[in-house]
Amino acid sequence: MTKLKTFYIPVLISIISIILLSACGNTQSQNTAQAKTNKNTLIIGLDSDPPQLDPQLSTTLVDRQVDQSLYNTLIDVNSNLQFVPGLATSWKVSSDEKMYTFHLRQGVTFQDGTPFNAEAVKFNLERILNPKTGSPSLSEISSIDSIKIIDDHSLQIHLKEPYAPFLSVLTDRTGMMLSPTAVKKEGKNFANHPVGTGPYKFVSRIKQESITVKRYDHYWGKKPKIKTVIYKPYTDGTTRVTNLESGNVDIINQMDYKDIDRLKHDPNITLSIKDALGFQGIMLNTKVKPLNNLKIRQAINIAIDRKAISKVVYHNGVTPAVNPFPTASWAHPTDLKVPKANIAKAKSLIKESGVTNTSFTLKITNDPQAKQLGQMLQYMLQKIGIKINLEMVEFGTLISQENSHQYQAVFQGWSGRIDPDGNSYSWFTSKGSLNNMGYSNTKVDQLLSEARSVSNQTERKALYDQTSKILWHDSPYIFLFYLKDFKAMKNDLQGFNHVPDTLIRTDTLSFK
Amino acid sequence: MQQATFNQSPAQSKTTRPFLKLYRAAFSRLWQNKLGTAGGVFLLLLIIAAIFAPYIAPFDPSKQDYSAVLQGPSAQHWLGTDDLGRDSLSRIIYGARVSLKAGIISVGIALIIGVPIGLLSGYLKGLWDELIIMRITDAMLSFPPLVLALTLAAVLGAGLSNAMLAIGLVFTPNFIRLVRGQVLSQREREYVEATRSSGISHFRIIVHHILPNSLAPILVQATLSVASAILSEASLSYLGLGTQPPTPSWGAMLSEAQGYLEQDPLLAVWPGLFIFLIVISINFFGDAVRDMLDPKLK
Amino acid sequence: MVHYIIRRLLLMIIILFLVSIIVFALVNILPGDPAVLLLGQEATPQALAALRDQLGLNDPLYIQYIHWIINVLHGNLGYSLSDHSPVLNILLQKIPVTLELTIISFIIALLIAIPVGILSATRKGSIWDYISTFGALSGISIPAFWLGILLIYFFSVKLGWFPPSGYVSPFRHFGQSIFLMILPAFSLGITLSAELTRMLRSSLLEVLQADFIRTGYAKGLLKYAVVFKHALKNALIPVLTVSGLQLATFFGGAVITETIFAIPGIGQLIINAILSRDFPVVQGTVLFMAFAVICINFLVDITYSLLDPRIKLGEVSK
């Protein structure tokens, strides 16, 4: 009997020591009760690994979350979407709306020590305007005619024609200032060593795992209270949420809608809701079969039951949509209702089209919510005789495939911009830099160009209303819904400023 | 593999009465093995359910019913519904089709490619066999099977057919090795020499003598491989590379259910349970078959 | 002895060579044009052609292979298509994570397999034996991902003892690192322990029949002393051999477990790389895995042959 013990005793000891070791790990760790937070580090859970940290080459919203910490924009917005000074302290518009004068903030340096001045602004804008850069933001400022430096901290921008959205464009990516020194030094590799003027500077990155940034001690604004911020991607919505619930993560930028109820009732979590600016739907490649056929696209458009999608996949946390302008925007057309699914008409449209092979592949990201949506769409289109194949693609690859037009249909949305021009011009004009659908309608080009040059809101709305009607008819993009932005965070995270652009502004955050 | 079990004189290739008697004895051994029998019965039931799925399943497995989402078991839906209102029971039944198909076809592919190569390689010996074929199988066996299947499936494209091909290819080296080993041990036996000296061609020797004597271990390995193949298909579908929606696959169903553990944990139980049951049934049955064919093999 | 080692070494090199060919062939049939994936948006046809030239994509395959293998031998495994970082660096970051998971899983597997294996071998035919055989077969049959999900459900969602996923480096916080690994290591360890239990049971049964054991009995040693001092040591050797050989299957299990539990190891790396068509990463990771398996098998072979001749008389020299 004693010999038996000589075996089991070491075993028991090792088991106990493992438990003890992990128990002392557990004191700083979690169960469903909230974990004690490390007050010096903020961990942000993202919905995917940001593909591009060079804002001038970026097309995704998740990039902008990290950009928020690294860079500043010329103009910023508050939670009511009103313009407030950023790197520009004041600005003037000429009466003919073709000349903008900016006075820049003084005493600002980039994180690598380069001084911020009018030269830097000119450098950045010209980089975007340079077609060799290949910036998707180009069409947002294509109306710039010339940039004139007045002195170190003021410059004048001349436009070719009046462009109403100009100031709002400078509140996001296009207005972000990169260090010219770093850009010149790193070239194409800039995204791996980004340098801006923002409250946090880039430290390191492990692909698909984390992006670490550290407080920039010479930041011009109010110094952030939290020293380190780590962005961690969790592509699975459930994993993201459970990590928040268990305390591994302090705030998450998005969640699956099925988890919203649960988070609402969690006493340790604060939920903040704001109507967002963007739209979601399906991009159709109008240059390939069978989607090059108008009637097929129209059939798809009217066969979809948008209300069912909102209810089943998004638990009514989204608003069904049929055009690019969300309900919160003044450009939202009030007379275009969301119709019920019309299976009969869709079927007859398909017959009329004469297309026999109606099947195509719909690409979606590899997450459960998208898969659920994909299967709903599959089922709905099956009813009208269209068979779709679902292909799951990793987010970054999906973006590349869209940009190189290697797809038939993609579930892809747009985060939205304050100005309705930002929700339409680059997407739906023939040469729009985000128009990956090959869509071209000269009437739309005309309407959208006019809408951006006129400043009277009523006039602009009429133009956007017309655009919405044409987009519904042409169906290059199947609008599905407008998102609401839900942000969930630990109760002890203070200072969160919920702006409808959905970005987490890290400089105001602190732990109680 | 015991030569004595099949009491054939060299030139005979027909079965003889002692042969039948042995089979009867083997079957009675099988029956005595309760677990094996239970496994076999369960398998049979699943196969029948899979074949007659359209008649047995209460609903169309792809039919979405948005008013009945994530329900627990009820009179209408015995196993409840999933996140799109589809009937779980029907999806499980149709999922059996996918799993069984995947298991059988994958192993079939491995057999069709592996057995001939193994036979030739073992019989011919020499440089071609030692250096090339054996080293290639060694190389293939160095890859983690799932990783190799994943990569192959990604290369060939998503979908069940490609997944089956990928899995089949991954299992092939095992069969090559097994058959080759059998051939190597068989060809040294006297009956082969005796047969050669009577002038029968190599081909006849392989096909009519060596192969039948090697059948038993091949059969056992094949049976157990079906279980592995089913697990592999489930894994591939779980990761998104096997069966594509809306075809129900137990692995894919499991990955869908993972997001609803709080709301509807049972959703994750059924597909996993059935994978477990089918695999363990095959393992029990396979073990029993092994015992039946040669009780000395343990 | 040396002769044997050299022969094995030569064989190992041949296999490695074949493995590299298979890996290269596999990945280069993957669909997708790497140039487009790299340059992405609105790249001009000239830029694409230039990059293809630069990447050597226009060369015949065997030349591409030679370039690649030479690079590999110099430690250059290529660059990831998504963020251009060197594949080798990525691997070096992720390997320790999987290594930690592997070690803890093995410990758990052994902790289960050894007592259960001993119990079932020493009480052959009893209820214990029956339970452990059944348990072992179950362990092999249970899909790793189902086990993982069930563990998450019971221990995380229901009981709240563990978080459902996550990883912390042991260098940052050792205790927490192990703690977070317990559920995933368990789900991997159980399947492994099933295999090991079967192995241990049958090898222990064999050893217990051996002559030297009977000699031990004759000498009057207590049954347990016999079992633990002599039989176990000898029975463990084939078990450890099998453990080493299990490494290949283990990597496969790790892929799934790392995905379920969001552990940033090479399993998750390869899944993400396959899904994002990041060929260099796929190539490098698969190559590494095969390489690891081959090396471990080689070491196991050598170790086994070193130990084997000494087993006869029950004296295993340390």
CB contact under 8 A, B272 and C146: yes
pLDDT score at C42? 41
Q: Looking at the predicted structure, is the pLDDT value of residue A36 above 70? A: no
Share the mean pLDDT of chain A.
87
pLDDT score at B189? 72
pLDDT score at B31? 56
Mutate to test the interface with B, among A359, A371, A373 (most CBs of B within 10 A): A371
Q: In degrees, to the nearest 5, what angle opens at C-alpha B203 toward C-alphas B292 and B209?
A: 25
Model-level pTM? 0.80
pLDDT, mean of residues C153-174: 77
The CB density around residue C55, as the number of other CB atoms within 10 Å, is 16
d(CA A438, CA A442): 13
Q: Looking at the predicted structure, is the pLDDT value of residue B266 above 60? A: yes
Amino acid identity, residue A459?
E
CB contact under 8 A, C262 and A136: no
What's the pLDDT tens digit per position in C106-131?
A: 889 888 888 888 777 776 667 777 77
pLDDT bin (cut points 50, 70, 90) of residue C55 is low
Q: Which residues of A touch B268 (CB under 8 A)?
A: none
Q: Which residues of B touch A382 (CB under 8 A)?
A: 62
pLDDT score at B121? 82
Lowest mean pLDDT among A27-31, A381-385, C213-217: A27-31
Q: Is A312 on the interface with B (CB under 8 A)?
A: yes
CB contact under 8 A, A389 and B84: no
pLDDT bin (cut points 50, 70, 90) of residue C31 is low
Residue that the structure tokens 């290269």 belong to: C24
pLDDT bin (cut points 50, 70, 90) of residue A138 is confident
d(CA A107, CA C73): 51
d(CA B96, CA B61): 12
Q: Which residues of A touch C264 (CB under 8 A)?
A: 206, 208-209
Q: Which residue in B136, B144, B238 is closest to C251 by CB distance?
A: B144
pLDDT score at B298? 41
CB contact under 8 A, B260 and A312: no
Whether the complex's predicted ipTM is more than 0.90 is answered with no
The CB density around residue A384, as the number of other CB atoms within 10 Å, is 22
What's the pLDDT tens digit per position in C57-87?
A: 666 777 878 888 888 888 778 877 766 778 8
What's the pLDDT tens digit per position in C258-303?
A: 888 888 889 888 888 887 777 788 888 888 888 888 888 888 777 7
Closest of A303, A290, A289 to residue A382, by C-alpha = A303
3-class SS string, A346-389 = HHHHHHHHCCCCCCEEEEEECCHHHHHHHHHHHHHHHHCCCCEE
SS3 A105: coil
Contacting residues for C37 by C-beta, under 8 A, at least 6 apart: A397, A400, C81, C277
Contacting residues for B194 by C-beta, under 8 A, at least 6 apart: B10
CB contact under 8 A, C146 and B275: yes
Closest of A52, A8, A14, A162 to residue A397, by C-alpha = A52
Q: Looking at the predicted structure, is the pLDDT value of residue A30 above 60? A: no
pLDDT, mean of residues A41-61: 90
pLDDT, mean of residues A109-133: 93
Q: In degrees, to the nearest 5, what angle opens at C-alpha A397 toward C-alphas A369 and A255?
A: 25
Distance (Å) from the C-alpha of residue C259 to the closest C-alpha of chain A? 10
- In eight-state DSSP terms, residue B128 is I
What's the token pair of residue A201?
A: 């500077």
3-class SS string, A159-183 = ECCCCCCHHHHCCCHHHECCCHHHH
Share the mean pLDDT of chain B.
81
Burial label for C70, CB within 10 Å (0-12, 13-18, 19+), is: exposed
pLDDT score at C136? 80
Q: Looking at the predicted structure, is the pLDDT value of residue A463 above 90? A: yes
d(CA C255, CA C98): 9
Alpha-helix runs per DSSP H in chain C: 2-28, 34-39, 45-54, 61-73, 87-122, 127-141, 144-151, 174-209, 211-218, 223-225, 232-245, 247-260, 266-275, 279-311
What's the pLDDT tens digit per position in A82-94?
A: 899 999 999 999 9
pLDDT, mean of residues B194-198: 71
Domains in chain B, CATH or no CATH each: 28-53+77-297 (1.10.3720.10)
d(CA A215, CA A195): 13
d(CA A96, CA A453): 11
Contacting residues for B90 by C-beta, under 8 A, at least 6 apart: B57, B58, B59, B60, B61, B248
SS3 A89: strand
- The residue with greater pLDDT, A28 or A250, is A250
Q: Is C2 on the interface with A (CB under 8 A)?
A: no
Q: Which residue of C has its CA nearest to A6?
A: C228
CB contact under 8 A, C41 and A136: yes
- The residue with greater pLDDT, A481 or C51, is A481
CB contact under 8 A, A22 and C166: no
pLDDT, mean of residues C144-171: 80
CB contact under 8 A, A4 and C224: yes
H-helix or E-strand spanning residue A103: strand A99-104
Strand pairing report for A154-159 and A99-104: antiparallel
Q: Which residue in B62, B240, B259 is closest to A238 by CB distance?
A: B259
The CB density around residue A27, as the number of other CB atoms within 10 Å, is 10
What's the pLDDT tens digit per position in B43-94?
A: 999 999 999 989 888 898 888 888 888 888 888 888 889 889 899 999 999 9
Residues C237, C301: contact at Cβ < 8 Å?
Answer: no
Q: Which residues of B touch A237 (CB under 8 A)?
A: 259
Residue that the structure tokens 């979350």 belong to: A65
Q: What are the backbone dihedrals phi and psi of residue C264, each rounded to the nearest 5 degrees, phi first?
A: -80, 65
Q: Looking at mean pLDDT, say which of B115-119, B270-274, C130-134 comes out highest.
A: B270-274
| Dihedral angle computed from the Cα positions of residues A77, A81, A83 and A87, in that order, rounded to the nearest 10 degrees | 10
CB contact under 8 A, B84 and A391: no
Q: Looking at the predicted structure, is the pLDDT value of residue B229 above 50? A: yes
Chains that touch B (3 or more CB pairs under 8 A): A, C
Q: Which residues of B touch C154 (CB under 8 A)?
A: none
Chains that touch A (3 or more CB pairs under 8 A): B, C
Distances (CA, A) of A31 to A471, C165, C181: 50, 12, 15
pLDDT score at A409? 95
Work out the angle between the directed axes of helices B211-239 and C144-151 (0-180°, nearest 10): 40
User: Number of C-alpha atoms within 13 angstroms, CB side, residue C257?
Assistant: 31
What's the pLDDT tens digit per position in A53-107?
A: 999 988 888 999 999 999 999 999 988 888 999 999 999 999 888 999 999 999 9
Task: State what percent of residues in chain A have pLDDT above 90.
Answer: 55
What's the pLDDT tens digit per position in B107-130?
A: 999 999 998 888 888 777 777 666
Distance (Å) from the C-alpha of residue B28 to the closest C-alpha of chain C? 21
CB contact under 8 A, B259 and A262: no
What's the token pair of residue C200?
A: 């241990």
Amino acid identity, residue A360?
F
Q: Is C145 on the interface with B (CB under 8 A)?
A: yes
pLDDT, mean of residues B212-234: 87
Q: Is A19 on the interface with C (CB under 8 A)?
A: no
Q: Which residue of C has its CA nearest to B263?
A: C157
CB contact under 8 A, C182 and A25: no
pLDDT score at B110? 95
Q: Looking at the predicted structure, is the pLDDT value of residue A482 above 60? A: yes
Burial C37-51 (b: 16+ CB within 10 A, else e): bbbbbbbeeeebeeb
pLDDT score at B14? 46
pLDDT bin (cut points 50, 70, 90) of residue B100 is very high
Distance (Å) from the C-alpha of residue C252 to the closest C-alpha of chain B? 5
CB contact under 8 A, B246 and A375: yes
pLDDT bin (cut points 50, 70, 90) of residue C226 is low
Q: What are the backbone dihedrals phi and psi of residue A3, each rounded to the nearest 5 degrees, phi first?
A: -65, -35
Q: Is A132 on the interface with C (CB under 8 A)?
A: no
What's the token pair of residue B13?
A: 């290739």
Distance (Å) from the C-alpha of residue B111 to the closest C-alpha of chain A? 31
Contacting residues for A130 by C-beta, under 8 A, at least 6 apart: none
Q: In degrees, to the nearest 5, what angle opens at C-alpha C317 toward C-alphas C311 and C318?
A: 130
Q: Looking at the predicted structure, is the pLDDT value of residue B25 above 70? A: no
pLDDT bin (cut points 50, 70, 90) of residue A34 is very low
Q: Looking at the predicted structure, is the pLDDT value of residue B297 above 50? A: no
- In eight-state DSSP terms, residue A421 is G
Q: Which residue in C18, C150, C252 is closest to B147 by CB distance?
A: C252
Distance (Å) from the C-alpha of residue B137 to the closest C-alpha of chain A? 32
Distances (CA, A) of A33 to A40, A64, A244, C57, C85: 20, 31, 11, 54, 39
Q: Which residues of A touch B69 (CB under 8 A)?
A: 312
Burial label for A36, CB within 10 Å (0-12, 13-18, 19+), is: exposed
DSSP track, C77-145: --B-TTT--BHHHHHHHHHHHHHHHHHHHHHHHHHHHHHHHHHHHHTTTSHHHHHHHHHHHHHHHS-HH
d(CA B154, CA A65): 32
pLDDT bin (cut points 50, 70, 90) of residue A486 is very high
